[in-house]
Structure 1
């Protein structure tokens, strides 16, 4: 009996022990992070993890969360359990990462080991790639289990997920690096590979930096030759989640950044480019790196070439316009914007331009963007002011044009900034003012969309100009009249048509009030320059990289070795093409302001024509007589 009882007691003890062991195993499993991909279509989808999976893993013992934002942002609230780590602690300006021993000591002091499972986040566009920079650094040092939180703090907070404000620290650890040297690019490496067809460079900076503006103390402005401009802000959706596979694939491969190439990315200090490195890894690119010393390093070495748009300063950016406004405020002590040499008393005007008057807008006959909100102090410039009006829309004769400019408060030495929600409208006014002889005319790249994206305020106050007398001299070399085009189109000049393909081919005229169809014989089609076509303008409403446009033109045989004349229907789309060529520094260029409308027809005023028109055409007493000028149709 004693043996039976003893056996039963032993069995019960084993059951209890086994149950305890089972519970222990279950607890350990439950205490491990179970991260899930935010988007499964990426080749390396596990690198970008969902907020749901991170939230479900907050108590996991094997998960380290790094908040890469500023110390003040971290203190105001962060993901529970996250430690705070700034990328700036790990590099030196112009030199890149600190030495490996120092990095290892710093990471160990923060409680990080190379074997840990790590999720990093920042506040996306406001952090300029901080999470990507730390991701790259950790992979460079040999970490193999590093991830980035999709949407960062922005989306985490917007979705109402849990937060805490107490500072989190971890016990010191030992970080043993295993350097992956191929992940870190250098100036000498880039210089040695720059012109190889299987090598590509991504410039993640803004349009303005790429074009030539020196915004952060660079020794020289511009970009590394052959670099492809993919601005960091493009990497996110509106909710701050990372753009998805197909969009990213198209962005990269349409610009020659293909998986078979070795690809390196750079910016000013290797921060924004750190996130580009992460995206390349996410996309499964096998040979990618970050140039962590970036433009601060490259620009300092004058033996390395840099390229920029010759007249880059004519295309300004929102912060430049904001600085212009602040500089000229009464009693201001603000610094003048770069590439602006005037004193505080210098006259400047900002124009928002569209078709239509305030009455037209109020009655729904014209774009009412100005009434809905415009840059503070901006004046609406109705395009009708500078043109003959329906049905011709031709530029006014010089004397009348000067009167129109005076009515808008413009003098030859006035600094004028033009913008719109339409690049072709802004470019048209920019070109008109250049032709009229205004010395300092600036085009706001990205228009009102860029201004608002930068977080700057708008107003709805209607500002009116103070009329003056315009005394400037026009610049005939900028304008191609119909008679001038007749004399050169088939001899000394290259005609470049930037209308829609169907207009170029003669399938449609493109305008309800224009009857004749076709193109000027010998003209090359350089794609539709309208904003909606997406050829000359990027999705964020900014100008396409001038290097991409230059390459596009080169592929069409447009080399500016001879005088080049741009035309469209009536001088708007062609003004945008002219702007590009001007920014590139070409001087043997003209805008055929009357365009196809001027070439294809002669407009004759005939009041009797309204009674019984015999030729299809416009109304209001204007009829279109055949011009007798040669016309070509068909083909692209």
Structure 2
């Protein structure tokens, strides 16, 4: 009888421990936990890869958990544990250039992917002390240089609810939901509480879809209640139109313009409150300065030609490969196909409506910036030069421009007219190329 009770007690203890381990996400015994000293030693080996499993925002530099940490361990990749339900780990690793020849060290509050990787044949370890211990020892920490320009949904929620938040100086705030559609149908069906709708067609016009006149930009911003001193926080179903409006605001002279990382989808997934319907902002009498206050952020066709002729500047195409080599124009309202002679290809996405090469593994978040820098380096895009991004009519290039600004680059701009203007202008329509380049990004104007 005593033996039976003893066995029963052991079973209960084992079940209890198993439940405790699962609930806390504790690390399996088959996964080795490394000390800070061992991690530091391992990183001297060129085959060792460190992966931060925290959110994109924490990786960028937001101290969401108020631990006194801004950023990530120097050189670490970012693969949030929360993305596991959305993304195949192996596909993500392939994109990052990580193989089974690498020694993988995970850190973050949730390292549950360690066992998954181990089962798939990866050599994986866990650094349980993580960035908190690393920071405490004053070892190198990195962050997105202007991380505050790309805000988390949690920060926005606290701000609009009247809480005290970091990286905010108390100025008036306008949260803007930007997209295409005069009547704002998608905004009416659901949006962040208190946000106002912007139709990008109020700020750009056909047939070239360049920005409207400076006078019209000023008038439209005043209608929205925006002055140069307003904190403008922009989001949307898609980051492209949001970034397009954000760049227009910066061009006009708005001092503080930010994008919500992940946009509307991130807000919904966080389970935050939403509103329906549409309200219009109280207008202001004056924007507060002459527009444009920041003219260099957008260039036009004459400047684009100068960029192509200068050894200190580059014109970078943010378009799909099929568009770039002239297999398709990408648009039903653009007939010419090809690329601008002498430009460089900066990648983009699968078509004009997607920008996978600049998005994170899941959703509408910015791709971790060190991956973008590596991509540009591989493409021989020199970030020490003056760079103007272009696409078909400005949306994709605006998003990449905003990310470049967040990465700390100041000599960056948007060629507003893009492929449509260049290919349809009598002075430049013959200065185009088609077919695959013999040497990518080495063609001359």
Q: TM-score, normalised by structure 2?
A: 0.89
Query: In the TM superposition, what whole-angstrom CA distance separates every residue of 1:476-516 from its partner, at most 9, and x where no partner exists?
Result: 22111111111221323111101121221122222222232
- List gaps (5 residues or longer) in structure 2: 438-445
Q: Are the aligned partners of 2:177 and 2:187 in contact in 1 as well (CA < 8 Å)?
A: yes
Is 1:294 the counterpart of 2:103 in the alignment?
no
Could you tell me how far 1:279 is from its partner in structure 2? 2.5
2:431 maps to 630
Query: In the TM superposition, what whole-angstrom CA distance separates every residue of 1:518-543 from its partner, at most 9, and x where no partner exists?
Result: 21111111212556352211322211
Structure 1 stretch 517-526 or stretch 532-541: which is displaced more?
Answer: 532-541
2:223 maps to 407
Q: 1:121 aligns with which of 14, 18, 22?
A: 22
Could you tell me how far 1:63 is from its partner in structure 2? 8.6
- Distance in structure 2 (CA, Å) of the matches to 1:283 and 1:627: 53
- Distance in structure 1 (CA, Å) of the matches to 2:83 and 2:428: 47
1:594 maps to 417
Q: 2:110 aligns with which of 263, 272, 282?
A: 272
Q: 2:95 aligns with which of 254, 261, 275?
A: 254
2:257 maps to 441
- Distance in structure 2 (CA, Å) of the matches to 1:385 and 1:534: 27
Q: 2:247 aligns with which of 427, 431, 435?
A: 431
* Higher relative contact order, structure no. (Cα contacts within 8 Å, ≥ 6 residues apart): 2
Query: In the TM superposition, what whole-angstrom CA distance separates every residue of 1:151-208 from its partner, at most 9, and x where no partner exists?
Result: xxxxxxxxxxxxxxxxxxxxxxxxxxxxxxx812222222223252211111001111
1:453 maps to 269
1:498 maps to 318
Q: Are the aligned partners of 1:402 and 1:471 in contact in 2 as well (CA < 8 Å)?
A: no
Q: Is the alpha carbon distance of 1:200 and 1:628 closer, same or farther for their aligned partners in structure 2, counting shifts above 3 Å?
A: closer
Could you tell me how far 1:260 is from its partner in structure 2? 2.4
Q: 1:544 aligns with which of 367, 391, 401?
A: 367
- Distance in structure 1 (CA, Å) of the matches to 2:259 and 2:103: 36
Q: Are the aligned partners of 2:297 and 2:414 in contact in 1 as well (CA < 8 Å)?
A: yes
2:440 maps to none
Q: Are the aligned partners of 1:198 and 1:261 in contact in 2 as well (CA < 8 Å)?
A: yes
Q: Are the aligned partners of 2:187 and 2:277 in contact in 1 as well (CA < 8 Å)?
A: no
Q: 2:177 aligns with which of 352, 369, 390?
A: 352
Query: Map of 1:83-232 to 2, 5 A cutoff?
Result: 85=20, 120-122=21-23, 130-131=24-25, 134-136=26-28, 139=29, 183-232=32-81
Q: TM-score, normalised by structure 1?
A: 0.63
Q: Are the aligned partners of 2:135 and 2:141 in contact in 1 as well (CA < 8 Å)?
A: yes
Q: Are the aligned partners of 2:355 and 2:396 in contact in 1 as well (CA < 8 Å)?
A: no
- Distance in structure 2 (CA, Å) of the matches to 1:544 and 1:567: 19
Query: In the comparison of the two structures, how many residue pairs are matched?
Result: 425
- Distance in structure 2 (CA, Å) of the matches to 1:514 and 1:471: 38
Q: Are the aligned partners of 1:194 and 1:226 in contact in 2 as well (CA < 8 Å)?
A: no
Is 1:317 the counterpart of 2:152 in the alignment?
yes
1:470 maps to 287
- Distance in structure 2 (CA, Å) of the matches to 1:376 and 1:219: 30
- List gaps (5 residues or longer) in structure 1: 1-27, 33-58, 68-81, 86-119, 123-129, 145-181, 238-242, 328-333, 362-367, 603-624
SS where residue 14 of structure 2 aligns?
Answer: strand
Runs of 4+ residues deviating >4 angstroms = 59-63, 625-629
- Distance in structure 1 (CA, Å) of the matches to 2:436 and 2:98: 31
- Distance in structure 2 (CA, Å) of the matches to 1:427 and 1:579: 7
Query: In the TM superposition, what whole-angstrom CA distance separates every residue of 1:408-454 from its partner, at most 9, and x where no partner exists?
Result: 21111111110011111111111111111111111001111000111
Could you tell me how far 1:219 is from its partner in structure 2? 3.8
Q: Are the aligned partners of 1:562 and 1:588 in contact in 2 as well (CA < 8 Å)?
A: yes
Query: In the TM superposition, what whole-angstrom CA distance separates every residue of 1:237-283 from its partner, at most 9, and x where no partner exists?
Result: 5xxxxx7xxx222223432332222211112xxx312x132222232
